């Protein structure tokens, strides 16, 4: 079955499509139907079915005779260590931790916050919660105490599972003091905390509240998987909100397992025994979907990587891991490849690494410029798929399903085709569909498919207002883009990154695409700043390739000319500045909104997710050279 046949089959009979996909999941009570639309526009899937995600991700593979297969490979160039956990070992680890949690009163429906770095125990913690029907909420390790406290107060966990520290290049990040501070600030107090002591920095424990990881589990009876309803939550994952109050995205158990299992085979082209690597973090949605749950549901070996694309120790780290573990399908952010390309523009460091196991590279999380995609494709000799999805959806809205159709066309500059379950349209401000090739708001016709968010945690009205109100009957993605006549989607920017220059709606993403073609520019970002005459004007931030010693003025002049030649004078692109690096979240997203506020001299709040706050001062200093007013933090 090819892509078109599968997609049209879904459109013709969505119920039959998803009931067939649900057969890949082992249910303790099969669902009677797929969609439950009774509360539309709040749709639910597989409501009357019962299953357990941990059982499907671990136990059933052991029962099938594959207990000796590697389930998780923890590769840590940061600590110089490597560890393999088989499916049988993972079953034992999750059952023992789940049993210890149950012994302390954690039961089905209770929440557990997980605050850990990229260690195998983080995955064990998630699966142990799933095993007993507890709802986990992973908070990115190292988040500030006040941000952690906000999440504790919102989801009200019975317990917190944490590590003593995280390890970054050249420094150790103390997690435990941040956790202690968060609990002090929070109104809600967890009953207890369990601390995984890392040898690099053990932490002092609070008597009566904190327990050491292994001591906590001593003598606990292994827990059996607890069946949960198909629509009951597996986890809550917080994503940033425009009000400063994070939004708790709810992930339903049954639809999540069905959708992820479908994507592993059909989108990523992997199955039982294959090695899959998503170079992300368990604190982000990619880590939930494609480090822990997706690969394990499919019976793959999942690489859990504690390191950076460059600097741990060099820009060949990715190639070493792929060669060592025979990775078949690799998923990372475009930012990672831009960093590698900046350090090693010729790709010389690939030499000596056997990458013959690799069949495809998947990029997501940030716009993939064609220069970086072409560079990666030439270097690796495999298809490079830029696909698009969100924390809210949990899996790809658009992509190129190489597992379903190995020869499916990849069109540069697009994020591929809508996956079954997603009816993607481009709408104008009035909610009317626009012709192919026209920029507009990207929306998905309701109902959203299985595995996507049915609501926000304890905030149903906010869910409706945030996503379902602007275009009634549609899910508002918040992204702007365009589709071609064959349905290939091009995501240009967040809708608030579409700027209005003298009445012309222009995509900053299109300008970034042009700038990325300059041979000396490794990475760039374009933001809209206030302009008295035109309303808004674009401003470009340019990061240069390593070893480029040309005068910055020459490069900015060439950049301005490039945009003028490719897009036209209507873009009014006249301002550009060279910076050493761009401010990003820890997941690699460029903080364009903050950059625009700095450029406009507005006050701003430093995001909790920023990778390195010092970059904001560097940006401000660079802009001072353009005569722009200083911003207030």
Say if residues 261 and 235 touch (Cβ distance below 8 Å).
no
Residue 430: pLDDT above 70?
A: yes
d(CA 547, CA 520): 9
User: pLDDT, tens digit, for every residue of 8-60?
Assistant: 999 999 999 999 999 999 999 999 999 999 999 999 999 999 999 999 999 99
- pLDDT (tens digit per residue) in 239-281: 865 445 779 999 999 999 999 999 999 999 999 999 999 999 9
**Average pLDDT value over all residues in the chain:** 93
Q: What's the pTM?
A: 0.86
Question: Is 137 within 8 Å of 234 (Cβ atoms)?
Answer: no
State how far the alpha carbon of 621 is from the alpha carbons of 5, 512, 577, in Å.
55, 22, 11
How far, in Å, CA of 69 to CA of 624, rounded?
A: 57
With contact defined as beta carbons under 8 Å apart, do 435 and 453 qualify? no
pLDDT digits (tens, 9 = 90+) for 515-566: 999 999 999 999 998 887 777 889 999 999 999 999 999 999 999 999 988 8
Q: What token pair was written down for 234?
A: 């597996």
Helix/strand/coil for 211: strand
Domain at 87-226: CATH architecture: 3-Layer(aba) Sandwich (3.40)
Which residues pair with residue 235 across a beta bridge? 136, 251
Nearest Cα to Cα of residue 550 among 595, 524, 518, 509: 518
- 591 pLDDT band, cuts 50/70/90, is confident
Q: Per CATH, is 506-624 categorized as 3.30.70.2190?
A: no
Q: How many CB atoms lie within 10 A of CB 436?
A: 12
Q: Where are the domains of the chain?
A: 87-226, 506-624
pLDDT at site 504: 65
Q: What is the pLDDT of residue 242?
A: 47
Q: pLDDT at residue 107 above 50?
A: yes
Per-residue confidence (pLDDT) for residue 156, from 0 to 100: 98
CB 399 within 8 A of CB 410: no
State the DSSP H helix or E strand holding residue 375, giving kind and residue range, or none if neither.
helix 370-380
């Amino acid at each position: 079955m090819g892509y078109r046949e599968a997609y049209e089959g879904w459109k013709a009979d969505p119920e039959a499509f998803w009931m067939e996909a649900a057969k890949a999941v082992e249910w303790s009570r099969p669902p009677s139907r797929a969609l439950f639309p009774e509360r539309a526009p709040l749709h639910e899937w597989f409501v009357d079915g019962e299953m357990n995600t941990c059982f499907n991700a671990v136990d059933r593979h052991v029962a099938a005779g594959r207990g000796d297969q590697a389930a998780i490979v923890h590769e840590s160039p940061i600590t110089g260590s490597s560890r393999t956990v088989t499916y049988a070992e993972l079953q034992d680890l999750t059952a023992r931790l789940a049993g210890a949690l149950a012994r302390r009163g954690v039961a089905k429906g209770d929440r557990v916050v997980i605050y850990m770095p990229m260690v195998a125990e983080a995955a064990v913690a998630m699966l142990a919660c799933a095993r007993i029907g507890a709802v986990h909420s992973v908070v990115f390790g190292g988040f500030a105490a006040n941000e952690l406290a906000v999440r504790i107060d919102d989801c009200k966990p019975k317990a917190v599972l944490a590590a003593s520290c995280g390890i970054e290049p050249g420094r150790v990040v103390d997690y435990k003091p941040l956790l202690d501070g968060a609990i002090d600030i929070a109104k809600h107090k967890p009953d207890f905390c369990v601390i995984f002591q890392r040898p690099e920095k053990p932490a002092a424990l609070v008597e009566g509240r904190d327990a050491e990881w292994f001591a906590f589990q001593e003598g606990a009876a292994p827990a059996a998987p607890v069946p949960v309803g198909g629509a009951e939550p597996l986890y809550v994952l917080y994503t940033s909100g425009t009000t400063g109050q994070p939004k708790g995205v709810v992930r339903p158990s049954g639809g999540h397992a069905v959708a992820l299992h479908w994507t592993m085979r059909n989108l990523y082209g992997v199955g039982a025994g294959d090695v899959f690597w998503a170079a992300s973090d368990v604190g982000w949605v990619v880590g939930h979907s494609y480090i822990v749950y997706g690969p394990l549901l499919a019976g793959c070996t999942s690489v859990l990587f504690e390191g950076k694309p460059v600097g741990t120790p060099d820009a060949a780290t990715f190639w070493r891991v792929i060669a060592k573990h025979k990775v078949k399908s690799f998923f990372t952010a475009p930012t990672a490849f831009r960093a590698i390309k900046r350090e090693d523009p010729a790709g010389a460091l690939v030499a000596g690494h056997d990458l013959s196991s690799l069949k495809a590279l998947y990029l997501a999380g940030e716009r993939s410029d064609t220069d970086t995609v072409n560079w990666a494709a030439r270097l690796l000799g495999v298809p490079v798929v830029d696909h698009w999805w969100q924390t809210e959806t949990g899996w790809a809205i658009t992509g190129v399903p190489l597992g379903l159709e190995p020869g499916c066309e990849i069109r540069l500059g697009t994020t591929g085709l809508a996956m079954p379950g997603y009816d993607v349209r481009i709408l104008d401000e009035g909610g009317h569909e626009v012709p192919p090739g026209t920029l507009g708001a990207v929306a998905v016709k309701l109902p959203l498919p299985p595995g996507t968010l049915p609501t926000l945690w304890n905030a149903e009205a906010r869910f409706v207002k945030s996503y379902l109100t602007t275009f009634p009957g549609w899910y508002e993605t918040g992204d702007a883009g365009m589709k071609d006549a064959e349905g290939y989607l091009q995501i240009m920017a967040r809708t608030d990154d579409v700027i209005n220059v003298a009445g012309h709606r222009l995509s900053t993403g299109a300008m970034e695409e042009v700038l990325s073609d300059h041979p000396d520019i490794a990475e760039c970002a374009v933001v809209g700043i206030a302009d008295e005459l035109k309303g808004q004007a674009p401003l470009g931030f340019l990061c240069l390739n390593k070893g480029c010693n040309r005068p910055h003025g020459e490069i900015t002049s060439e950049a301005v000319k490039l945009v003028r030649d490719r897009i036209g004078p209507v873009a009014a692109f006249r301002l550009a500045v060279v910076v050493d690096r761009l401010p990003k979240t820890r997941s690699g997203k460029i903080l364009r909104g903050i950059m625009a506020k700095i450029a406009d001299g507005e006050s701003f709040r430093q995001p909790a997710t920023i990778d390195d706050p010092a970059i904001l001062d560097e940006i401000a200093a660079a802009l001072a050279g353009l005569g722009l007013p200083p911003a207030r933090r």
